[in-house]
Amino acid sequence: MITRRDGEAVRIPENTLVAGKVVPSAPARRRGPAATYPELARVAARAWRPVESERLGEWELRAAGGFTRRANSVLPLGDPGLPLGAALAAVRRWYGERGLPAYVQTATGGEGTQELLCAELERRGWVREVTAELWTGALAPVADRAEGAGVVLSRTADEAWLARYRRKGVSEVALRVLGGGPSVWFASVPGAGEGEPPAAIGRCVVDGRWAGFAAVEVDPGRRRQGLATEVMAALARRALDEGASAAWLQVETDNESGRALYRALGFLPHHAYHHYRAPEGTDDREADAGTGDRSAHDEPDTDTGAPPRRNTDAHADAPPARQKTDADTGAPPRPKTDADAGVPPARRQADARSRSGPDAGAAGASHRVPEGPQASVRSGCP
């Protein structure tokens, strides 16, 4: 008796087995194929290429005439090479020159995600408009789930495929985005009658070990017939033939039917991603005034969580603060004491004992010089 990955128990005659072993359970911390957020973010970006991009340090500024936020937003992986306020100001200018709103794409909830950057954007007034999730799973179970019967694969999105695609009036720019990527495949299930839009469509981009699914859509009148599963199975088989072994897709948080389907195919959430839109009428450089002009790559102080302090004269190269002397304050010179004159300690103690008595009181104490080193004064303390 063996148990499949999906929990199904299967009985196999012992005399047909050549070898076997017990496969341990996957570690609880693993949620699908192992991957960090930066790896998946770059894979997803290559699967949805803009028509224009430019580097700002390690950030990528992307534009595609406004067709989807993913192709018209900044992907901030790494250091932009500027303080955060200056980097965001440059982002605003770049998109403004193209007549587009400025968006920054960030992520939370996974290994290597950007919770600190999200908090800083919100502090500066950037508005989170859209949140979705990226899910991952093994590719082979998707291919094994159905035969892919009746599914037609193509390298291009033809007019029939576009007729089912939910974004209507697709422009030449949009076609370039849809067709961009390392190895792009389009799938469709023909409609019931001649000239009708496909009953279901889908798109897949193969990139190394990853296969990314998108635009899986079904005619509302043909739902719950397994067509989405057939489309994904056919695309998964083609991706396996090209050497892929892992799969990813993006799904909105309110798409309950899609989430149920993908979970049944073995996908699980990896991280959430968000698009922040620049606020109107503000300058991100102004927000740096009270934070020491933080770099976009700065981390908070380890123990306090406070933003890192920039070096000031008190912290860096300035000499220690000099204590005021009598000469600075204009006070008359102090008369020299025994300590100033170099009188030996034994002599000073003897003199002190000779002066002590019932009438000496506080006056005697006021002339004592404490023995040992003077207390140090900390420079640069508030």
For the stretch 92-136, pLDDT in tens is 999 999 999 999 999 999 999 999 999 999 999 999 999 999 999
Q: What is the pTM (predicted TM-score) of this model?
A: 0.68
Domains and CATH numbers, the chain: 30-133+272-307 (3.40.630), 140-244 (3.40.630.30)
Our CA dihedral for 353, 359, 363, 365, rounded to 10 degrees, sits at 40
> Taking the mean position of all CA atoms in its chain, how far away is CA 33?
19
Q: Are 180 and 49 in contact (CB under 8 A)?
A: yes
What pLDDT, on the 0 to 100 scale, is given for residue 124?
97
**What's the helix, strand, coil split of the chain in %, to 5?**
30, 20, 50
What pLDDT, on the 0 to 100 scale, is given for residue 21?
62
88-100: b (≥16 Cβ within 10 Å) or e? bbbbbebbeeeee
Can you tell me the distance from the alpha carbon of 77 to that of 104, in angstroms, rounded to the nearest whole number? 11
- 3-class DSSP state for residue 211? strand
The parts of the chain modelled with pLDDT lower than 50 are 1, 3-9, 24-31, 290-295, 297-382
